Amino acid sequence: MAESVPNRTSLHRLAKLGTSPWIDNITREWFENGKLAELVSQGIVGLTSNPTIFAAAIASTTLYDEQINSLSERGLDSRSIALELAKSDISQAARVLAPVYRETGHKDGWASIEVDPDLAYQPGPTLTAVRSMRKAIAEPNVMIKIPATAEGLGPIEEAIAQGTSVNVTLIFSIERYREVFAAFVRGARRFLGGGGDPAVLGSVASFFVSRLDTALDPLLVQAGRGDLAGKSAVAQARLAYAAFREMASAPEAAELFAKGLRPQRPLFASTSTKNPAYPKLLYVESLIGPDSVNTMPLATVDEMLAHGDPSRATVADHVESSRHLLEDQLPAAGIDLGAVTAELEVAGVESFSKAWAGLMSEIEKKAGTPA
């Protein structure tokens, strides 16, 4: 639990304030050289992955070649090989994180793996893929990532109702986030109603942060409101956290938590700064608070360890000014936030699908398998 976390590094201090620091990266090299274990000793308590991360990991090293050739000889195609490689890495990561999973009472110590991104708009195949993936991975501390498209809401509820821990990914708007949390509550109610053990069920809702500033800043400059640049992403994340506190305290959710269910915590993803003019820890130190997660790429983790100084909760700061920015100032500048976040969702899915396709091409090149 957060109270028992030692005060050794800035990551440990971050956890003491209620924000669990996770790493947004994975590569087989980290199991060979002990890097993941080192990160855990420094305060990392969870791991997330996505198709882009796996594509970069597998394409940049020969550590996967032997398994690729073995799977190819068994007749697996590129897509199946890619999924098997991902399952292998996530299983290893889950084993490294298993002590954290036990020590925190299953709050942390999770490793996340994403279903095939090409299924993001196909509810039936998504749910089939979730079931298959969860069955194939023996470790209990694994979350399956399902994109938060409108078509993904049904599979999210069904997976949770069947006892699968879920990391809902690619959330870009508060409206969609509310739908995701409602799906979590419905699924969890069904799971507990069927006699499920709340101790085995975990979930996070991954709210992508920095991409909003990347999309809005040029529009603000064009509208003559460059003074507002670099503020929208933190503002929306803070409003998302306020929505979480509101939804988690509603009677239906509170009743489930009273039975031992852990809340579906908001997870702040895409937290590296893309604009070099912004503080490197802008999307970490501005979003600290109880019952939250921040998943960071390695460079941001290193920056946090070297220069981070979390001393208080910040995610509930300036909520009203954040609301004023999003609901009044952006529309006054001619910016349709809903349209921008809808475009970001589509672009996010497309980016993951493109990375996955590139990975399969790399596998095909290495093993001569059909794509």
Active site residues: 145
Assess contact for 46 and 97: CB atoms under 8 A. Answer: yes
Cα–Cα distance for residue pair 108/287, rounded to 1 Å: 18
Cα–Cα distance for residue pair 155/57, rounded to 1 Å: 28
Q: Which tokens in the block code for residue 209?
A: 């942060």
Reduced DSSP (H G I as helix, E B as strand, rest coil) percent helix, strand, coil of the chain, to 5: 60, 10, 30
SS3 113: strand
SS3 90: helix
Query: In terms of residues, how long is the chain?
Result: 371
Q: Exposure of 237 by Cβ count < 10 A (0-12 exposed, 13-18 middle, 19+ buried)?
A: buried
CB atoms within 10 A of CB 279: 14
Assess contact for 269 and 207: CB atoms under 8 A. Answer: yes
What beta strand segments (E) does 130-259 contain? Answer: 142-147, 166-171, 203-208
Assess contact for 228 and 289: CB atoms under 8 A. Answer: no
Q: What is the DSSP letter of 262?
A: P
Cα–Cα distance for residue pair 186/355, rounded to 1 Å: 32
Cα–Cα distance for residue pair 125/353, rounded to 1 Å: 15
Residue found by looking up tokens 């979480």 in the block: 244
Cα–Cα distance for residue pair 132/66, rounded to 1 Å: 24
